[in-house]
Amino acid sequence: NIHPSLLPKFKGLNTFERIVKNKEIKTGCTVHFVNEKLDSGEIILKKSFFLNSKEDEKSLKIKTQKLEYLAFPEALIKIYRYR
């Protein structure tokens, strides 16, 4: 699974809203295995970036999705290379 925050922060829904509201300075995405608990599986990798002072939910979503497109294939390679 891929989650739009640096887990364990901001598990669940409304992630971008909560990141902006919490005035985070750094965020990103986490690729992780799925288990029985919400967003709690073993982490495969994280990618991050710093937020600027004008960040809103829309810009945050766009930046995070760009990072997710890079993270997911990298995670697949990591799984197959090291497992």
- Indicate which residues carry an active-site annotation: 3
Both tokens assigned to 43 = 């982490």
What's the alpha-carbon Rg for the chain, to the nearest Å?
A: 13
DSSP assignment of 22-62, as one string? TT-SEEEEEEE---SSTT-SPEEEEEEEEPPTT--HHHHHH
**Which H or E run contains 2?**
strand 2-3
